[in-house]
Amino acid sequence: MRIAIAQLNIHIGNFDSNTEKILNAVRSAREQGAELVCFSELATTGYPALDLLESPHFIQKSNELLERLKEASSGIGIVIGAPRINPELPGKNLYNSAFFFANGQQLGFADKALLPTYDVFDEYRYFEPGKKFNTIEFKGKRIALTICEDIWDLVNEDPIYTFHPMDELMKDKPDLAINISASPFSEGQHRNRKKVLKMNAERYKLPFFYINHVGAQTDLIFDGGSLVVGPSGEVQDEMPFFEECVRTYELDEIMKMDGISKLQSTDRIALMHDALVFGLRDFFVKLGFKKAIMGLSGGIDSALTAALTCRALGAKNVHGLIMPSEFSSKNSVRDAEKLVENLGMSSDILDIGDIYDLFTSKLDAFFGKTPFDVTEENIQARARGILLMAYSNKLGHVLLNTTNKSEMAVGYGTLYGDLCGSLSVIGDVYKTDVYKLSNYINREEEIIPRSTIVKPPSAELKPDQKDSDSLPDYDLLDPILKMMIEKKYSMEQIASEGYNSEVVQKVWQLVHRSEFKRYQTAPVLRVSDKAFGYGRRIPLVGKF
Amino acid sequence: MRIAIAQLNIHIGNFDSNTEKILNAVRSAREQGAELVCFSELATTGYPALDLLESPHFIQKSNELLERLKEASSGIGIVIGAPRINPELPGKNLYNSAFFFANGQQLGFADKALLPTYDVFDEYRYFEPGKKFNTIEFKGKRIALTICEDIWDLVNEDPIYTFHPMDELMKDKPDLAINISASPFSEGQHRNRKKVLKMNAERYKLPFFYINHVGAQTDLIFDGGSLVVGPSGEVQDEMPFFEECVRTYELDEIMKMDGISKLQSTDRIALMHDALVFGLRDFFVKLGFKKAIMGLSGGIDSALTAALTCRALGAKNVHGLIMPSEFSSKNSVRDAEKLVENLGMSSDILDIGDIYDLFTSKLDAFFGKTPFDVTEENIQARARGILLMAYSNKLGHVLLNTTNKSEMAVGYGTLYGDLCGSLSVIGDVYKTDVYKLSNYINREEEIIPRSTIVKPPSAELKPDQKDSDSLPDYDLLDPILKMMIEKKYSMEQIASEGYNSEVVQKVWQLVHRSEFKRYQTAPVLRVSDKAFGYGRRIPLVGKF
């Protein structure tokens, strides 16, 4: 049997264009001689459709798309993920299901049984867990059909669920397994996927066809990398990352091969780079925008953001504002200009000195003589925010946020100032990785000026300011933040790893005290296992 | 048996003060002659603790508090909600449980079986559903102990769950039922609660003691109103709304009485008023802040916000900034000043004309001669945002957001401008209710100037601007928004209710296109069944 995998980028809510894209993929699979074509999880709606799933008319549109696919299944089998209305309440209104069409009929369906409800996943909010497990017979083969999480609990050291859906399906003695997924990128996730597929193939002695979604939805980047794994666990093919692709496999060959010799490059920093560029591009494509703007300080965060954006959108669509104040060094403007030149993007210079003076003199009348403090620092950041948003409003450029994860964690940023922006490009990238990404971008030629990379980090909001005046060095800060955010260690646990308790306590307090800022900042492109945003929900409690 | 209900305000993460408060309530119950004292759901941690529940050291602190309570249970029974570590993985790490202590021992526990995972609730994210149901015997009485949602499915027209935990418990022939809850305020929720309790008491022919949490956590306002209901369904007592209270009941009397003659006032607008004042006050108390600031435009939204804030914090803790531009009418400043005088709060006037001129003239050099558009409107709103935040930074006042729900729905507000603020006070109040609340505040004397109430709404960001230039009248807009947001109607359904399809389509698009603004606005005090924020999750998809 010839089986095609259609790794597609679905645009939530745009049923017309999605229908066309899916039908085109069916056509393309047919042309490749496929007898069965498989799409990813919830491919009719896109993932995550969130509360749109609660709108009956949204589900109706998904059902209309399913009808079209059923009709299109003459002479070819089609597996596709879609919500299925629960016909037997009580329970949630929907199942997260895989439909199987062939010859204009529905051959069967499978409901997702294990519903991830952690981190960025909220599937119990919308779906009833599946409780029935039957293989589907097609062209003489019994197919075990599962959905994403259904096959994942094997890799968890502490299992989350009480059973494995594949164990149930094995009673029917399947000939092959298909798993349709929507598994977002994070560093290392491609390794987890291969491990999961390998463990399943070995345990069940079956070939696995694993279809992943590709495409970004705001903060989540689905990286593709769909897999075909032979019955003894070897990866037989890995589809490209960050690209749509329809590719057909002969089942008999998959049963015989012993694995491909060379997988795609999985260098951590290279993949993170590609993910950010892809996520950024798809954000613009899906919202119908073309042009971006950002502030350029001469520092490394805005330089990296600009470089990634030029790759995503093309330099001609990227504009930078260089907005020095009296506290900016000459070198900063020079570094920003050098970057603009290297990237071939456009820029303007707007000195904010007069704006700053006007605000502070106006406020002096009310505050009296008070010492320079964070108020004056923030006025500069917020004046820049106004100028950037004015460009955005007048010229239609989308403002991008340039804050890194380390800063965002400790609240080292001005709300409504440098925290402005529709999307945070590197808000899930620790400062130490900002350096690595910058060096990666410079690996063949100097794009981000070397002086930007080597100078000590500074917000330049007061005389001779350095990040290190108020924060530990990033080499020390980042591991503490990782333990706190990713590993949920207590202060005592972090200190027991050899870190100074006073430093740990200070970082701990900075993170908790700045939760209110993160309540109001842009969505963050997610590249780690625990990004700020939807997948991390900390109450505003003052202290803990 | 004498049973006390302790309706307390728990501060998430502040285990020391919570422990003291809970032990004091035990003491107070003892003094009232109680043999059993009952606390609300997850009373050791507060609700919702969100992802803090994933931190082992957070759970450890809760367990330490449970140990203290066990020790304190000599001579008195104690029922309290707390997370219980799941001793038998696989499964989630925790149960959402009720512990029963007496005489220094743990008599038993109950695990919540029905886990709400919709709207603002995410309980499947953290908890394993309970699967065992046993009553607990204490002083010769068998007690059926359940947690919040466990008794709620009776009122759902379409049941969500497959069984009722109380049905399971009835096999033990209980003498009374206790339900511990954390049920947040929304208009009408007090009625739902009484209906739930009545239906349960009637169905199971048991007296019910229903203990609710009181206190606000950011957007969620827990209103108390704990209930004691006799075995034939009559409410025997309703504890106060928005107040802590420890009150003791004699079970024998509860079995005999036929209901109280007079419940608390439940006027919709009066309750909404009290909820907002309470939510606002508790936000400040819990975060350790005293003083608030807001912009005063002379319009009704900022006037209502100021009036509510003066009630919550005392007028001496509230400061307003009046920031006219060339587009402000003289009357606006006069109305704002009148409001300040009526409320007894303080204010400053800062004309933003020079700031506006500086920004626009600076930008003209780059934009060239372009027509006045939303850019210039937003510059005014954002200049005001800078001034307000400067006050906040310099003087420690917390900036409050003054946007109403109708505006927030259609995106009629400037991101980083009038959408600034740490908390949105009336962001869940439709404009038509803003008028009703204002009239309620004025019911005895004119506090919000009458001229503010009667003039046509305007943002005053361009010459002779009126809200009605770009929006339908609020009497028309609000019902459309309610159908769209609260009822999830499609455009066709709304039109079929008798609304012009073009108007409906326009509103529909405005709501969807402004999702990105709501991603970045302040938490909103929740007073409806579907507020913007955590309980409403719409992806950024451009259109749907």
Is residue B364 situated within a structural domain?
yes
Q: What is the pLDDT of residue A202?
A: 96
Q: Is residue B492 part of a domain?
A: no
Domain closes at, from B257, B282, B306:
B257
Nearest CA in chain B to A521: B520
Residue B257 scores a pLDDT above 90: no
What is the average pLDDT across B324-335? 92
Pairwise CB contact (< 8 Å): A393 & B416: no
- The answer to whether residue B91 neighbours chain A at the CB level (below 8 Å) is yes
Residue B544 covered by a domain: no
Q: Does any CB of chain B come closer than 8 Å to the CB of residue A294?
A: no
Residue A341 exposed, middle or buried by CB count within 10 Å (0-12, 13-18, 19+): exposed
Catalytic residue among A35, A41, A376, A377: A41
Question: In percent, how much of chain A has pLDDT > 70?
Answer: 99
| Closest Cα in chain B to A537 | B51
| pLDDT at B516 (0 to 100) | 93
Give the H/E segment covering residue A406. Answer: helix A405-410
Q: pLDDT exceeding 90 applies to what percent of chain B?
A: 93
Scan residues 220-279 of B and list those with Cβ closer than 8 Å to A: none
**Within this chain, do residues A222 and A330 fall inside the same structural domain, yes or no?**
no
List the one residue out of B372, B329, B442 whose CA is nearest residue A394.
Answer: B372
Confidence band (pLDDT; 50, 70, 90) for A544? low
Chain B, residues 389-448, CB within 8 A of chain A, namely 389-391, 393-395, 415-416, 420, 422
pLDDT digits (tens, 9 = 90+) for B156-171: 988 999 999 999 999 9
Contact B543 A14 (CB under 8 A): yes
3-state secondary structure A349-405: ECCCHHHHHHHHHHHHHHHCCCCCCHHHHHHHHHHHHHHHHHHHHHHCCEEEECCCH
Residues A231 and A164 in one domain: yes
**Preferred mutation among A96, A283, A369, A393 to probe B, highest tally of B CBs within 10 A:** A393
Return all residues near A203 (Cβ < 8 A) that are at least 6 apart.
Answer: A154, A166
What's the alpha-carbon Rg for chain B, to the nearest Å? 26
CA distance A427 to B267: 46
Nearest to A118 among B90, B125, B516 (CB): B125
Query: Is A480 part of any domain?
Result: no
Q: Residue A500 pLDDT more than 70?
A: yes
Would an 8 Å CB–CB cutoff place A314 in contact with chain B?
no
pLDDT tens-digit series, residues B402-427 = 999 999 999 999 999 999 999 999 99
Domain residues for the domain of A414 are 271-471+514-518
Same domain, B434 and B288: yes
pLDDT per residue as tens digits for the range A350-379 = 999 999 999 999 999 999 989 999 999 999
CA-based radius of gyration for chain A: 26
- Average pLDDT on A212-219 reads 97
pLDDT at residue B263 greater than cutoff 80: no
- Average pLDDT over all residues of chain B: 96
C-alpha distances out from residue A32 to A70, A247, B39, Å: 20, 8, 66
ipTM associated with this complex: 0.95
Q: How far apart are CA A442 and CA A453, in angstroms?
A: 10
What pTM did the predictor assign? 0.96
Over range B182-193, report the average pLDDT.
96
The predicted-structure confidence for A49-87, as pLDDT tens digits, reads as follows 999 999 999 999 999 999 999 999 999 999 999 999 999
* Mean pLDDT value of segment B179-189: 96
Within this chain, do residues B251 and B279 fall inside the same structural domain, yes or no?
A: no
User: Looking at the domain assignment, is residue A175 inside a domain?
Assistant: yes
The whole-angstrom separation of Cα A82 and Cα A166 is: 20
A195 and A336 part of one domain: no
Cα B334 from Cα B325, distance rounded (Å): 14
A52 and A118, same structural domain?
yes
Domain edge (last residue) among B233, B257, B281: B257
Shared domain check, B280 and B239: no
Closest Cα to residue B202, out of B234, B232, B169, B179? B232
Average pLDDT over residues B231-254: 96
Q: What is the mean pLDDT of residues A291-307?
A: 98
Q: Which residues of B are catalytic?
A: 41, 112, 148
Return the pLDDT at A369.
Answer: 85
Residue A333 domain-assigned (yes or no):
yes
User: Residue A106 and residue A397: Cα distance in Å, rounded?
Assistant: 46
* Cα-Cα end-to-end distance for chain B: 58
Average pLDDT in the A224-247 region?
Answer: 96
Are B235 and B365 contained in the same domain?
no
* Cβ(A323)–Cβ(A351) below 8 Å: yes
Over 70: is that where the pLDDT of A524 sits?
Answer: yes
Mean pLDDT across the stretch A514-540? Answer: 95
Measured distance CA(A42)–CA(A177) in Å, rounded: 18
- Whether A543 shows a pLDDT value over 70: the answer reads no
**What CATH number corresponds to the domain at position A118?**
3.60.110.10
* A420 catalytic residue (yes or no): no
- With a cut of 80, say whether residue B543 has pLDDT above it: no
The average pLDDT across A396-416 equals 97
Peptide bond between residue B472 and the one before it cis (omega within 30 degrees of 0): no
- Please report where in the chains the tokens 């418990």 appear, as a residue: B169
Residues A397 and A353 in one domain: yes
Mean pLDDT within A319-333 = 94
Q: Tell me the pLDDT band of B210, cut-offs 50, 70 and 90.
A: very high
Do A195 and A301 belong to one domain?
no
Residues B243 and B334 in one domain: no
Among B257, B281, B297, give the residue marking a domain's end. B257
CATH number at residue A433: 3.40.50.620
Q: Across residues A470-498, what is the average pLDDT?
A: 95
- B211 and B180 housed in the same domain: yes
* pLDDT score, position A64: 98
Give mean pLDDT, residues A304-318. 98
- Band the pLDDT of B365: cuts 50, 70, 90: very high
Examine the pLDDT at B524 and tell me if it is beyond 80. yes
- From chain A, pick out residues whose CB is under 8 angstroms from the CB of B49: 539
pLDDT above 90 for A264: no
Residue A409: inside a domain: yes
Domain count, chain A: 2
| Chain B residues within an 8 Å CB radius of A287 | 540, 542
Residue B77 forms part of a structural domain: yes
A321: its two tokens: 């504002």
Mean pLDDT of B3-17: 97
Could you give phi then psi for residue B248, rounded to 5 degrees? -115, 140
